[in-house]
A and B are shown apart, each in its own frame.
Chain A
């Protein structure tokens, strides 16, 4: 439980971290040992986190790429042109 660790920002679709943090927040809130100020901070953080999660879920469109290897064995991603 380290509230400092998270800055309330959702980075690159890391649902695992966000949802875990939401769980942590709820657990902390339910234990009821935090000050009102902290309750509010956590609440706001949670709202931002979950909003970012939802936005990603509704806005995201599945990306399909293809792994391509050049003669030197370097990899890069190319668009999947074939259907």
Chain B
């Protein structure tokens, strides 16, 4: 029997099969569920694509893995585009994946919900473990891209509000595969470095795919493990990421994070101004009081020394007051200018615009009510919409 057939070597046969398969099955797309997904230390990604009746080995080379925006996970339905190749050494065929996409946005949302539920179950989002932010941080760590809009916005806002701080950037890739790992590493590095009071982790707006790194488990774990308080600042107001749930504080945008992390210096100016006013008032009163007391004393005794003492105090007060007005006046002026420009800025933010977006404002006696607890039963209030006010009574 065998004499009638050409005998091939295994290599020859495999080569022939390879030629046929690779010619016939090139540039195709196949849909399936990922299983046994492994990112090898070489950077290549290996997984199996399967459906109810069959499975297909798949490999994605490192150079292409770099273009992925999400970490493929077991159970995810995907469409893989690529070519069938035959690996001669082991006599197996596989798909060499050029591009991998989630079957739909739904796949990502599913992955998001699954991770969110699992992490919530583990207590990563628990309110009790959220750390308070330092009121006056001196050094602020920032985990974001060195070229993105986020770092620019943060620098601008903090230099306006409270420039007496040091910002320390740990530049990372914020999208694409590897981004999540870089972000997580940066958070851990800041903890090892230790000499910062708080950190902002985030990036500017983008598509769901662009923001995906902040939905990856490694980032969530790194934030959870951070001893330094973390403010998340990802995308726009409407974007919620896993990072937001784990963070000690979620800022809706990087700019908002910059506003939340430092107070405005005009607030400190106000505190200082109040101090000067009150302390000077109290000290002057105390001196006059003392003067009166001693004068009264003097009327009954021949006793000069205490009055001298009081005069000395009086002089000292005047001197301190003098120092204050001489050397500090220009600081006040400088800050006053700054506060003035701020007030203009605030005035340009029209609250009516917020109302037009569908929000309403509660007022009482013409004043805005910003807390529920200040209202009590049968209080008369007004509810201000963008098109008018309606009266209401608290039940």
Residues in chain A within 8 A of chain B (CB atoms): 12-16, 19, 22, 25-26, 29-30, 32, 36-37, 39-40, 42-44, 46-47, 50-51, 53-58, 60-67, 69, 73, 75, 77, 80, 82
Contact = CB atoms under 8 A, between A and B. Distances in A.
A46 B171 contact: no
Contacts of A55: 331
B163 A61 contact: yes
Contacts of B192: 73, 75
State the 6 A-B residue pairs at the shortest beta-carbon distance, nearest first.
A60-B164, A15-B136, A62-B159, A50-B272, A62-B163, A54-B331
Interface centre among B170, B331, B334, by most chain A C-beta atoms within 10 angstroms, is B331
B155 A62 contact: yes
Interface residues of B, number: 54
Interface of B: 134-136, 138, 141, 146-147, 155, 158-159, 162-171, 186, 189-190, 192-193, 265, 268-269, 271-272, 274-276, 278-280, 282-283, 286-287, 290, 310, 313, 316-317, 320, 323-324, 327-328, 331-332, 334-335
B183 to A, nearest CB: 13
Nearest to A66: B169
Contact of A53 (B134, B268, B317, B334): B268
A1 B258 CA distance: 33
A77 B164 contact: no
B167 A63 contact: yes
Contacts of B286: 32, 36, 39
Nearest to B171: A66
Contacts of B165: 13, 60, 62-63
28 contacts: A12-B138, A22-B275, A25-B275, A29-B279, A29-B283, A36-B310, A40-B316, A44-B316, A44-B320, A46-B275, A46-B276, A47-B276, A47-B320, A50-B276, A51-B331, A53-B268, A58-B334, A62-B159, A63-B166, A65-B169, A66-B168, A66-B169, A66-B171, A67-B168, A67-B169, A69-B189, A75-B192, A77-B168
